[in-house]
Amino acid sequence: MVEHNIVVVNKSGLHARPASNLVKAASKFKAKISIIKAEKTYDVKSILGILSAGISCGTEIDLVCDGEDEVQALQSLSELIESGLGE
């Protein structure tokens, strides 16, 4: 299991479009991928899971990956989130 702390930079937070981009990217990996926010865990491969987290700009999250391709997943998704998820 690997994890990385990230501050969300999207001005509107993780609303539908960036959340969809994140789910699409996460679905390419076999690892279990989660976001931890305020001690609650959300499934990154679920659009409803991400949206229910209510992640706004400036929110600090932990991205956690666990599985055979966890390192690649963490690196790829961390870069994607830190770059603004295509927004």
Q: Which of 16-20, 64-68, 81-85 has the lowest mean pLDDT?
A: 81-85
| Predicted confidence (pLDDT) at residue 86 exceeds the cutoff of 90 | no
In a domain, 73, yes or no: yes
Q: What is the pTM of this model?
A: 0.90
- Structural domain boundaries enclosing 29: 2-82
Q: How many folded domains does the chain comprise?
A: 1
Confidence of residue 50 (pLDDT cuts 50, 70, 90): very high
Q: What is the CATH number of the domain that holds 76?
A: 3.30.1340.10
Per the domain annotation, does 16 fall within a domain? yes
15 given a catalytic annotation: yes
Distance CA 56, CA 54 (A): 6
Average pLDDT along the chain: 94
The active-site residue out of 2, 6, 13, 15 is 15
Does any domain span residue 87?
A: no
